[in-house]
Copies of this chain bind each other. A is one copy, B any other.
């Protein structure tokens, strides 16, 4: 629709030559092949179209101030990702378009790629090219993910079309998220059509190790296509998803030239020079055969953005360090909680603290995310609570410097026992009685939440959520289940990591070393009812995340009775997980958007 339009006409001409950034690999700048890129790693809020627009404009102005030629904003930056069924509301989509128009007006002396939902007869997950005060072209996402946590076929139509942005002598080909995960087109076609840079705007959700996986994949794309890759990712928490940022620029040999920090907003500015790309393509002509075979290069719409900007100085590109797995976990949990609290308009949180490791871990993370003054810890001992755990509960609160309430539940437990004396006559005490205690605590915490507007954080971990060892409406009660995707064994590792980082016992060693217990009956220990957590967690990882069958897991060397038991418990607890609060997704398959099983399910694997 806008091929050949000279969108850069309003720009000042006479851009001078820039010398490339040093420090990682020397390059020689060639007139017209250099450009300054900005990767705006934005934390949008889903639905806050006006606020997102303001944040985009602020970053745009910052980028222009730094002499950036082309600034990239994430996929659906205007709406936040994923907007889910808000996309089915015409008013929402129209408003998003108006915000895009307002952003485009600000795009003078700079070009921006901005993700937005485009309604043009059908709905597209689109990348707007904003320059010269208006939207000059639109690229529409070709590959729509509809697996794992994604449902893009529910909302979007796709298009097969290539767009090339001419900036000086360089050609930049925009793509959207999933497009770049495909080994073939559009990346391969863009390169064959002449692109020197593939720009990818993403909202790529985090899971452990995802950053490294993306780096490997993008390096392959860069090398395969002999072109630069500029990948900008969203950052922030949205319900159970975390976007980790970790935006990247790679050169045509797949070397990482710049890496934005993970888990925080950033504007990554980097100078690139495509002269070496031109040179490499003249040397290595292996790809020419492909073009010859198809009878010519793929068709593409070319939009002229004019010459690149004059930039007085070179920037020193950031190469943020990669993080360890435990540190990734910690940062993801902190960001996820902070954004859930902030974006939902909460100020304070409340956590039931038992003196056990899970609630201690949750409390420590809440303090890190929000500050001590925004965390209230409530100890609710019963006759089964040991003096050790009660002591640790108080100690944790003192160490973390939070508010602390103690509400002994014994009297409430008795009132239930009296009420149920008649119906429960001649039955043996068991899960029913244990759950009453957990639910009295849930009711107390929810009362505090309702009264004071505190967000209640549920404290269960992934091992418990798997096998149904957390109590529905009891310790599963709350608005956010922070560590529901952290296996028990990882809860211990994280607790030690947190103490190491802090250089002191944020979480008492006694809490870490005590045998886990729900303390709902005398002398109770988790391992009386459950397999040792080392085994259990390994089995769960096979069953829940890898969809391995019972026989395959047994063949891995686990005791068959233990495997059968773990699977049976996990299947049976499906209905409780459906009623669980959201929590931070950390692994390849969290309980939530990415594991969709029927409750009514007679399949026994």
Enumerate A410-468 residues with CB–CB distance to B below 8 Å. 411-412, 414-416, 418-420, 423-424, 427, 430-433, 435-436, 439-440, 442-444, 446-448, 450-451
Is B600's CB under 8 angstroms from A549's CB? no
Q: Can you list 7 A-B pairs with a CB-CB distance of less than 8 A?
A: A85-B595, A238-B598, A239-B600, A344-B599, A432-B448, A436-B443, A578-B581
Q: How far is the CB of A100 from chain B (nearest CB, A)?
A: 16
* A575 at the B interface (CB under 8 A): yes
Check A239–B446 contact: CB distance below 8 A. Answer: no
Q: With A48-B602, A83-B598 known to touch, is A420 a contact of B446 (CB < 8 Å)?
A: no
Cβ–Cβ contact B473 & A450, under 8 A: no
Q: Does A601 contact B (CB under 8 A)?
A: yes
Shortest Cβ distance from A237 into B: residue: B600
Residues of A within 8 A of B (CB): 45-49, 51, 82-86, 88-92, 146-147, 151, 153-154, 237-239, 339-340, 343-344, 405, 407-409, 411-412, 414-416, 418-420, 423-424, 427, 430-433, 435-436, 439-440, 442-444, 446-448, 450-451, 472-473, 477, 479, 547, 549, 551, 575, 578-582, 595-605
A547 to B89, Cβ gap below 8 A? yes
With A and B bound together, what is the CA distance between A84 and B574 in angstroms? 13
Residues in B neighbouring A596, C-beta threshold 8 A: 84-85, 151, 154
- Contact: B146 with A603, CB < 8 Å? no
Q: How many copies does the complex hold?
A: 2
CA distance A450 to B448 in the complex (A): 26
Judging by beta carbons under 8 Å apart, are A446 and B442 in contact?
no
Given known A-B contacts A411-B415, A415-B415, A600-B343, A423 and B435 have beta carbons under 8 A apart: no
**Chain B residues with Cβ under 8 A from A147's Cβ?**
154
Q: Which residues of B contact A477 (CB under 8 A)?
A: 473
Given A89-B605, A579-B581, A602-B343, CB of A419 within 8 Å of CB of B435: no
| Distance between Cα atoms of A14 and B192 in the complex (Å) | 64
Q: Which residue of B lies closest to A340 (CB)?
A: B600
Query: A423: which of B92, B153, B405, B412 is its contact (CB, 8 Å)?
Result: B405
CA separation between A412 and B435, bound complex, in Å?
16
A212 and B211 CA atoms in complex are apart in Å by 52
Cα of A581 to Cα of B430 in the assembled complex, Å: 24
